[in-house]
Each structure stands twice: as C-alpha cells, then as structure tokens.
Structure 1
Amino acid sequence: MKLLRDLITAALIAGAYPAAVSAGVSAIDGSEPERQARWQEISAHIFGDRPIEAGGDLITIEAPTRAQDPALVPITVKVLRKDEVRAVHLVIDDNPSPYAAKISFGPAGDPSEIKLRVRVNDYTNVHAVAETSDGKLYQTRIFVKASGGCTAPIGVSDAEALKDVGRMKMKFGDRDHPKEATLMIRHPNFSGMQMNQVTRLHTSARYLDRIRISYGEETVFELTGDISLSSDPVIGFTYAQSEQGEFTIHARDTRGASWEQSFAVPARMNE
C-alpha cells in the first residue's frame, strides 16, 4: 500500500499519467497511531528533520467534519500572531499527493486568514503548518470525512472545462472588512485521476502550480499548488496595505501556460 501510494504521488508531482488510478488505493481508515505514523512520514518528506511543535496558540484550521462535496471542501486557516509567520503549508494526509499548497507571504501580505477550496480523496487528517520568520514550525489539524474528491469528474467536457481558462475575477471586502479580498481563477485543475465522461479515458493532469499576488510593487503572497486545489480555485485572503492601489495576479499551470491580470482596489475601501 505504501509503495503504491508513493508511486502515484511521485507520478502526479512529475505531471505523469497516473496509470495506477484504478489499482485499488483506499483510505487509511485505521487508528490514530496509524494516522500519526502517516503524518510522520509525510512531514519528514516535506520538512526533513525539522521539529514541528503544536501550534494551538498560533494557527487554527476550520473545515466541515463531513464534506458535502469532496471536490469542493472549504478550508479556512487563521494565524493568530500574524507578524511572526512567513509561510503556511497545507497538507491533506491521505490524498494521493498530500502536499496541497504552500503560501509564502511578502511585505504586503497578512497571514491572518486565508480561505481555499480543496479536494479530499479519503477520510483524512488535514494539517496546517505555520512557518515563523525564524524558521520554526507549528502545526494544527482537523479530521475531514470525504471520499473521491481527486477522482470526481469535472461535470463537463474537457474542452468546456478549459473554455476561458485563466480568466480572473476579484471581490473586495466592505467597509467593515476593508483589507479582505477574494480571487477567482478559471481553471479545471485536472488532477490526472478524473475520467472523461465522453471518451471514458483519464484526462491528463494539468493544474495551477504557481499563483503570485502583488499589491503595487510588493508581494502579498505566492502560492505553490498541487492537484488538491479544486477546479476554478477561489482564494480568500487578507492583505496589509491601506492606501489606494492595484492588485496584479500572475498565474501559471503545469503545461507552461501563464496569465496576468490587474485589479484596482475600489475607492470606498480606503475611505
């Protein structure tokens, strides 16, 4: 089981076709010690031998206990001492490729809250790891019941899913939440594990692997993603700047396609 799962993960990270998708990979439904062993294996792969401490007073994670749609599971990560954190890592332990996202914050960033929609393939722990400015790691987790999020079909043909790919929209907070924004990007984020409902063949992996948001000349954050991000990603975030300005979004996918778009912050945000 471990070897098969690792082979699938390696293939997905490399962008290869996951031929083992129908080979019988199932959830780790075992005991808490088994889940802890799984986390130790994953965290060692991502962070090496760096110690990871409990982060209850630094970072929290919110998600539904049982997901209504495993392909669109809302995740909210909150950082309680924002000035100490330079990056947040999101890990979905029992997804075929567990390392869902790394969000690295820049001078215009505010890690107080970030919201994502993700795919969850099995009953699993979801970990959020805060990385502080001095390189220390703090983790928290939540258990989510879901199944099949990475294999769930898009619901339309591949051509339709790719229509207007890269198109972006932004929503901005109101007067009570002036430093909040939401980015929406049109992209199917094909996981490589989904079957085309017309051809009955698996669609090759193609997903957004880099999203950078700037405010003026300064970076808000850079997100490195994987197959666990949902189709048509929606990212809610907070930011530090207060003066009138403009967001610029750069996005890239694993086929080498890239897009850029700018959005002016509405004047009412700065009144």
Structure 2
Amino acid sequence: MNRGLHHLLVAVALALAASAAAAAPTSVEGQPDASPHWLKIRSSLFAQREITPAGSELLTLEMPVRAEDAAVVPIAVRTRLPQGAAPYVEKLYLVIDNNPSPIAAVFSFTPGSGQADIETRVRIDEYTHVRAIAQMSDGRLLMATRWVKASGGCSAPPGKDPQAAQASLGKMRLRVEGEPAPGRPVLAQLMVSHPNSSGLAMDQLTRHYVPAHFVRRIDISYAGRPVLSADLDISISENPNLRFWFIPQEAGGELKAQVVDNRDLQFESSLRLQPARGS
C-alpha cells in the first residue's frame, strides 16, 4: 500500500474517533453535506476542491437502503464514462461517513480497465451516508451518495471459525464471466480468503478483542499492464470480493492479482486467458 495514503487513512480515523464525543449529531438522512464526519474527511482528502453531485448518467451508487447483515453489505459503483483517451476515471474513493475507519477504499484505474465499475461488500457500523467520489483524469470530482440503515457491522463476530480462517488464509480465485473478446471490456471477479479482522470484534471465549488483520492492498494486471489497484481498510467485509472490468487482447495474456495485508503477508493468483477471435 502507498505508505503516505495509509498514514492519511489512519490519521483521519483517529481524528474522527477523538472528536466523536464532542461532535454534533453525526449523519442526518436528508442532510448529506452537513455530516461533521464528512466535512473532516472532505477536507483531508480534497481540501477546497469542488465536488459536483453526479447524475445517474455519469455515476451511480447501488446499495440496499436497509442492510440484512451489517457486516456484509453489497455495494456497486457504476460509471457511464469511457476509460479511454478522453478524461477517464482515475480514482474512485469509497467513503462511509460514520464508520470508525471511514475511508473504506481508494481504487485507482487505467484506460486498460475498460470500465471503472466496482462491486464489493462492506461493513456498516451505524446509520450513515455512503459516498462514491470519482476523480477524473482532468481533475474533476464527481460524487454519488446513498443513505444506508445498518449498525454493528464493524464489531460483528467473524462468520468463519478462526482456525478454519487461518487454514485458508490467502487462498484466492480469479474468474472471468462470459467469453472474452479482444478489445471489449469483460467482467472479472477476485475472491480472497482472509478474515479481514477489524480489531473491533471481541472473541466470545477469551473476551479479548481480535487484533486487526486485513487486506490493505490489491494490484491487478493483465498481460503485464496495470488494470486496477485498491488501497483498502477495515470497512471491507471478511473474505474480500471484488468484481471489476478489464480489456482482453487478441494475443491473450495473464490476468494476475497480488494481495498484501496489514501484516505484510503477500498472496498471488493468476489466470491465463486466450480471448476468442472476432467480434
């Protein structure tokens, strides 16, 4: 993970925690711009830069209004902007205002991403606004916001037995949906077996908090060229799961994922593709 970005994420989380008791009411459903947590996050990430609310023709954020399981909340960010020579989505910030670590993820894209869409699963600690902020290659910032009703996701116990989780730690699977065709964006999925412990969940037997242990960086490449990178934090659910796009080449190539966690353990998986010829 970019160490500077990691330090920024930690600093923001600590500042929010320190001021939580003295803060005014956190998020209010109908007042997304008045959230005191968001105002601090906005200042830390973007200073005084203008952020434009995005229409659905540019950027959408899909989440359930009320989550069935606050520890595993599906989220999809979809863009309607081409990843080409014209201004494209360079970064995508995923912010959960009222989470203990609100900057859940920062995704970095390239023109080779084909489409700057992401699907994953997150933890929600209390009723909150969730935001997707797209930074364009020309410097513009576009934002989509959703209000989500959920609580307790960051301190929820793991869904998998700890010993079983350790036995499968770092196992990964890459898959591609459909038949890849050269030059056309194709949807892929990365599944990582990892407890992604938040550090806020208590072991019910020992009554001690389980130490934080989470995936902090994912790099995905195709045919040796970067497609997507992600700086992640504890707001990402257990067993991180990413759905993303890339553009196959006629000659084929290797789709490769490299993962690093906060203990500097490294894991790797790859899938060799030979796209079908023709359109």
Category of TM-score, reference length = shorter chain: 0.7 to 0.9
Alignment map for 1:92-111 (pairs within 5 Å):
92-111=96-115
Change (3 A) 1:32 1:186: same
Alignment map for 1:1-271 (pairs within 5 Å):
9-10=13-14, 28=26, 30=28, 32-33=30-31, 36-38=34-36, 39-56=38-55, 57-83=57-83, 84-175=88-179, 179-243=186-250, 244-265=252-273
What letter is aligned with 2:95? Answer: V
Structure 1 CA distance for aligned equivalents of residues 256 and 232 of structure 2: 18
Deviation at 1:34, TM superposition (A): 7.3
> Contact 1:175–1:269 at 8 Å: present in 2 too?
no
Change (3 A) 1:267 1:133: closer
Any stretches of 5+ residues in structure 1 without a counterpart? Answer: 1-5, 13-17
Change (3 A) 1:245 1:94: same
Any stretches of 5+ residues in structure 2 without a counterpart? Answer: 1-9
TM normalised by structure 2 equals 0.83
234-243 vs 254-263, greater mean Cα deviation: 234-243
How big is each residue's C-alpha offset from its partner over 1:73-112, in whole Å with a ceiling of 9 and x where there is no partner?
0000011113321111100111111000011012421334
Identity %: 37
What letter is aligned with 1:199? Answer: T
Structure 1 CA distance for aligned equivalents of residues 218 and 265 of structure 2: 12
Deviation at 1:170, TM superposition (A): 1.7
How big is each residue's C-alpha offset from its partner over 1:186-218, in whole Å with a ceiling of 9 and x where there is no partner?
101000001112212101111111000000111
RMSD: 2.8
TM normalised by structure 1 equals 0.85
Change (3 A) 1:181 1:240: same
Structure 1 CA distance for aligned equivalents of residues 187 and 259 of structure 2: 20
Change (3 A) 1:34 1:123: same
SS at match of 2:164: helix
Change (3 A) 1:8 1:136: closer
Match of 1:15 in 2: none
Structure 1 CA distance for aligned equivalents of residues 91 and 277 of structure 2: 26
Length, aligned pairs only:
256
Change (3 A) 1:11 1:167: farther
Structure 1 CA distance for aligned equivalents of residues 197 and 114 of structure 2: 30
